[in-house]
Amino acid sequence: MSDKAFAGQVGIITGGSSGLGKGIVERLASEGLTAVIFDTNRDLTTRVEAEMKEKGYAVDSAVVDISDEESVSRGFEYVRTKYARLDVLVNSAGITGPTADVITNVTRPDFDRVFAINVRGSFLVTKYAVNEMKKRNYGRVMLIASVSGKEGNATAAAYSASKAAVIGLAKAVGKEYADTGITINSIAPATVETPLVLNSSPDYVQRQVNRIPMLRMGKIEEVAAAIRYAVSPEASFHTGFCFDVSGGRSTY
C-alpha cells in the first residue's frame, strides 16, 4: 500500500500551467495524484506537462476555458472517458482585472470579464466536478478565493467582488453536499508572489504587502501546502469553509 496521500486518485487543477496552479499541480502530483491540468494556453500547458513527467509525476492536460460551459463540458468528458473517476478539483484559474482604478474608471467589459472567469468559471467547474464526484460519494473541491474577497481592496472592485462571490459559492455548495463524502471549500490567500500579482500595478501590490503583518508576500509553496491538506482524505470535517493563508492579515 502506498504511503502517498493521493495514490490512485485523479484530480483536475485549473490554471495549472503557471503560478500558483503549477505549484499546486507539483505538490499534489508529488504525493501520488494523477493531475489533469485545465488551461487555455496549449503550448505552455504542454511544456509544464512534459516538465512534470520528467520528474516522474503523473500529469495530463486538456485545453479548457473555464468561463465557457461547452469547453468545461468537453474537459470533464475527457477526464471521465480516460480515468472514469474524479477525486479532487482545485480551481486556480483566475484574473485580477483592473487593480489601479476606482470604480468610475472601470469599464463594464473589464468587470464582466473578471466575473466570467472568476465567478462563472468557479460555478461551472464546481457544478461539473460535483456531478462526477457524487457517483462515488467522495470528492474534494477547492476554490481559490482571496483575502480581498473578505476585506475588499480599493481600486480593485471587480476582483474583490468576484472573490467574495467565490467564497459565497463554496459556502453554499458545501452545505448542499455536507451529508455526503464531498467537501467544497475555498481558500483566501493574501498577496502571493505569482506572475499574476507581479504583473499588477506595483503601487497596488506594495499597498497589499504593507497590510500583511508578516510584511512579505506569501509563497506559492505555502499556499500549495495548505491546499494539499484541505483536499486530502484526512480533511473530512471541513466543508463550506474559507481557509485563511494571509500572513496575519485576515482572521475572519
SS3 17: coil
Angle at the Cα of 98 (from 67 to 12), degrees rounded to 5?
A: 30
Residue 128's H or E segment, with its range, is helix 121-133
> How far is residue 197 from each of residues 99, 204, 206, 216, measured CA to CA in Å?
10, 9, 10, 13
Instruction: Exactly one of 159, 177, 229, 252 is catalytic; name it.
Output: 159
Can you tell me whether residue 187 is helix, strand or coil?
strand
DSSP 26-52: HHHHTTT-EEEEEES-HHHHHHHHHHH
Q: Is 182 helix (H, G, I), strand (E, B) or coil?
A: strand
**83 catalytically annotated:** no
Catalytic center residues: 159
